[in-house]
A and B are shown apart, each in its own frame.
Chain A
Amino acid sequence: MELLDVGLTEVRSALLQISEIVAPPYQTALSLMEQRFQNEHLGGHFPTGLKGLDAALCGGIPFGVLTELVGPAGIGKTQFCLKLSLLASLPTNYGGLDGRVIYIDVESKFSSRRLLEIGLRSFPEIFQMKEMAQEMAGRILVLRPTSLAEFTQSLEQIKVSLLQNQVKMLVIDSMAALVSGEHEQGARRQQTLSWHISFIKSLAEFSRIPVVVTNQVRSRNHDDASRYCFQVQSRDGAIETPMQYDSHLVAALGIQWAHAVTTRLVLEAKSGERFIKVAKSPISPPLAFPFHITSSGISLLSDDGKEVMGPEINAIHYQGHNEIINFGMEGLH
C-alpha cells in the first residue's frame, strides 16, 4: 500500500484482479480425461513392452511426470533406459512415440553398440535395413554433461528447443551421479537439487513427455529417520527391538526427491532373481515382477505381478548377486 500510494480498497481490488489473471484456469476432471485420450498416445502412457508392467501402470510410463528407476549397481537400470529410448524412437505402428529422445548420460554408460543389438533382436524387420537403423539411432541424442553447472545449462536449452525438435522423451542416467559429484554438502545441496527438481517437473508437465530418471542406492546409516515422535513415545515399558532391516540399502537423493517423483520403480535382486517393483505410483497396486536381461533388452519372466505388502515394497535387496552375474555371462555366450 505504501509503495503504490493508493488506498486500501483499491489495493484489495487490484490484488483480486491480478490473482484472477494469474491463477490458472480450471478443468473438470472429466474434460481432462477426454482431452488426454483424444490428444495423446494411448491416453497419456508410453508402453514399455513389458506386458505385466504396462498393465500395472494403466498403459505404461505416464506422460508429464517423473518416473524414477532406482536400484543397486549392475542390476539393469541402464539397460532399461536403453530399451525405452529405442522404443520411443520407433514409429507409432511399432508401439513407439515416433520422436526424438534426449539421453543425458552422466556416467558414460551409453553404448550404441548395445543399443543396436537390442534393436536388432527385438525389431529385426526395421533394424536390418541399414538406413532405418541409422534413422532410428539418429533420433537419440546423447548429452554428456561433466558437471552440475553444465547440466543446468543444457536443461535450459532443452526447454527452449523441446517442441521444435519433436522431442518425445527425456532420460537422465543418473541423477544421483550428478548431484554427488558436487562438493557442497547439506543444506546448499538440497537447495540446488530442489531447483532442478522443480525445473524438470515443470519441463515434463508443460511438454507432456515421459521423463525417466535413474537413481543410485546408498547404505542406510543410523541417522536415517524412520519414525515419528509419537511412535517412539507409544512404546514405553518394553525395550523396543530395533526393526529388522533386511535391506541395508536406501535410495539416494533423500526424502525430498522421493516426494517429488510420481512413480518409483525399484529394481532389486533377491535370492538370485531380479525383480522390478512398482514402489510408488498413484495408479497401481504394489506389485513385483521378476525379470531378466536378455540380448533384446529386458523381459519379464512372468506377467502376473506378485503383490507385496507394506513397506517391503520400498526396500531394496541385493542378495545373491554373484550368481546373477555368472548366470548372465552364461546366457550371453
Chain B
Amino acid sequence: MEIWRLPISASQRGKLISAGYTSLSSLSSISSSDLARELNVSESEAMNILKVASHSRGSETSNASCSIVEVLDTFQWWAGAQSAWDMLHDEESLMHITTSSADLDNILGGGIHCKEVTEIGGVPGIGKTQLGIQIAVNVQIPNDFGGLGGNSIYIDTEGSFMVERAFQIAEACIEDMSEYNRFLRKDFQECKIKMQPQDILENIFYFRICSYTEQIALINYLDKFLSEHKDVKVIVVDSVTFHFRQDFDDMALRTRVLSGMALKLMNLAKRFSLAVVLLNQVTTKHTEASFQLALALGDSWSHTCTNRIVLYWNGNERYAYIDKSPSLRSA
C-alpha cells in the first residue's frame, strides 16, 4: 500500500513524500524519533504516523498471504463478516413488528423486519403517517403478547405527528391487548394490563427536524443516542424526502448525501438490531409517453433501501404493494 492511501493529514503526507518515504515498507524500519527529525514534526505526530502505517500494513500483508486451506479461518479475520450459516441462524430468530393489519403482516412475512430498512410511500392522505405512528406504538407491545417491548424514535420532518392521534392509537392498542388477554387467559387469573396510554407515549422519543442539515446531524447523533437508550427497537422517519426536495441545487450532492444517510441508517439497523421505517412521498415520472406516479428522490435512492412498500388507492380501498424485497414476493 502506498503512502497516499494512509489516513493522515495532507501536510503530513506531503512531508513524508518530500522526505523520500514513498511506500510503507520504507517506514517499517525507522524509529519515531528519527522520523520526527527527518520530517520536522513533533515526536507524538511521528509516532502516530507510524502507528497508522503499521496498522494498515498489517492487514495488507495478511490478506496477500492467506491460502485456500485457511479460507474458513480468515472469515473471522474480516471483522464483522459472518459465514452464511451463522446468518441463517440469526435470520430465523429475527423478530417482527406487527403493523396491526393481518393482510399487510402476511405479505411482509410477519411484520416489519428488524435489522432492515423498510420504505413506505404513497400519495398524500393515504395514511403513511398513520402507519408510522401505529408502528411506533406497536413496537411497545410487551413480549408476552408477541411484541418486542421496545421503545421507538419518531423523527418528524413535516410536522404531521399529532399527539392526540398517537394517544388514540395507544388507547386502541391497549384495548386490543386486554381483549386478547381475556380470550386466552380465561382460566388463569385476570392479569390486568398495567400499561396506560401515557406509558406508551412516554416511550416514543420525538424529534422535530426543520432542515436537511439537522436531519444529517441527527442521524450522526443517533449512534450515541442509541448506545445510551438500548431499548429502542424502531426508528420511524416521516418523511425522509421533505427537506431534500426543496432548494437543493446540486443533484449530485443530494444523491451523495442521501446515500450516505441510507448507509448510516442500515448500519444502525444492523448494529442495534432495530427496524428502520422511512416514509416517502410521491412525484410524477414521465415514462413511456405517459406520466406515472413514482416514489420521490429518484432512481438512485430506490436502490438504497431493503424493502419497499407502496400504498395506493384501488377503488374505495387502500392497498399495499410490496415493490422490492429480498425475501418476499411482490404482492
Alpha-carbon distance A100/B223, docked complex (angstroms): 44
B193 CB–A CB distance under 8 Å: no
B160 contacts A282, C-beta separation under 8 Å: yes
B287 CB–A CB distance under 8 Å: yes
Q: Which residues of B contact A16 (CB under 8 A)?
A: 220-221, 223-224
User: Using a CB-CB cutoff of 8 Å, which residues 28-57 of chain A contact chain B?
Assistant: 28-33, 36, 43
B284 contacts A225, C-beta separation under 8 Å: yes
Place the interface of chain A in its size category.
35 or more
> Given A33, A226, A310, which contacts B315 in the complex, CB threshold below 8 Å?
A310
Q: Which residues of A contact B153 (CB under 8 A)?
A: 26
Task: Report the number of A-B residue pairs with Cβ-Cβ less than 8 Å.
Answer: 191
Place the interface of chain B in its size category.
35 or more
Q: Provided the pairs A225-B292, A229-B287, A255-B124 are in contact, do residues A30 and B246 lie with their beta carbons within 8 angstroms?
A: no
B316 contacts A311, C-beta separation under 8 Å: yes
> Given B163, B246, B314, which contacts A194 in the complex, CB threshold below 8 Å?
B246
Q: Which residues of B contact A225 (CB under 8 A)?
A: 284-285, 290-293
Looking at B167, B214, B246, B292, which has the most chain A CB atoms within 10 Å of its CB?
B246
Q: Which residue of B lies closest to A234 (CB)?
A: B321
B129 CB–A CB distance under 8 Å: yes
Alpha-carbon distance A279/B127, docked complex (angstroms): 12
Q: Provided the pairs A32-B206, A230-B321 are in contact, do residues A191 and B247 lie with their beta carbons within 8 angstroms?
A: yes
B124 contacts A259, C-beta separation under 8 Å: yes
User: Using a CB-CB cutoff of 8 Å, which residues 180-215 of chain B contact chain A?
Assistant: 198, 201-211, 213-214
A20 contacts B224, C-beta separation under 8 Å: yes
Q: Which residues of A contact B146 (CB under 8 A)?
A: none
Alpha-carbon distance A58/B203, docked complex (angstroms): 23
In the complex, per-residue mask of A228-267: 1 if CB is within 8 Å of any chain B CB, else 0: 1111100000000000000000000001101111101000
> Given B158, B218, B316, which contacts A310 in the complex, CB threshold below 8 Å?
B316
In the complex, per-residue mask of B250-290: 1 if CB is within 8 Å of any chain A CB, else 0: 00000000000000000000000000000001111101001
Q: Which residue of A lies closest to B49 (CB)?
A: A7
B291–chain A nearest beta-carbon distance, Å: 4
A15 CB–B CB distance under 8 Å: yes
B201 contacts A280, C-beta separation under 8 Å: no
Alpha-carbon distance A259/B123, docked complex (angstroms): 8
B124 contacts A6, C-beta separation under 8 Å: no
B220 contacts A15, C-beta separation under 8 Å: yes
Q: Which residues of A contact B164 (CB under 8 A)?
A: 33, 43, 58-59, 283
> Given B225, B239, B312, which contacts A231 in the complex, CB threshold below 8 Å?
B312
Alpha-carbon distance A191/B245, docked complex (angstroms): 9
Q: Which residues of B contact A205 (CB under 8 A)?
A: 159, 208, 210
> Given A24, A230, A314, which contacts B209 in the complex, CB threshold below 8 Å?
A24
> Given B160, B203, B247, which contacts A28 in the complex, CB threshold below 8 Å?
B203
A2 CB–B CB distance under 8 Å: yes
A23 contacts B221, C-beta separation under 8 Å: yes
Q: Provided the pairs A7-B8, A15-B220, A32-B206 are in contact, do residues A264 and B214 lie with their beta carbons within 8 angstroms?
A: no
